[in-house]
Amino acid sequence: MNKRLDWFKVNGATGPIFINGAKPGDTLVVNIQEIRVAEKGVIAVIPKQGALKDKSFKAIVKVVSIHNGYICFESGIKPMRG
């Protein structure tokens, strides 16, 4: 398993997306018709990025379970819906 992440293929908000037949430089128009949430997700906390960019820490990548639209953290923390 390759543990290196190609940051040129990652969007911090949406992650990597593959479009069959699309080539670098193509312009795409997308209409989102449905979003289905999986039973698991991935969280990455990266130094010098995002809301914690001024804090010093090691990068962490974690697989989390999702139940009823909520991420289930091991510590029992449950985020509020907006």
Instruction: Judge whether 42 and 62 are in contact, CB under 8 Å.
Output: yes
3-state helix, strand, coil in the chain (%, to 5): 5, 20, 70
What sign does the dihedral 15-21-25-29 (CA atoms) show? Answer: negative
Q: Where are the domains of the chain?
A: 36-82
**Residue 10, number of CB atoms within 10 A of its CB:** 14
3-state secondary structure of 51: helix
Q: What is the full per-residue pLDDT of the chain (82 aa) written as tens digits?
A: 456 767 676 666 666 677 889 888 898 888 889 888 888 888 888 888 878 788 888 888 888 888 887 888 777 676 666 5
Using the structure block, give the residue that is written with the tokens 């949406």. Answer: 14
Q: What is the pTM of this model?
A: 0.46
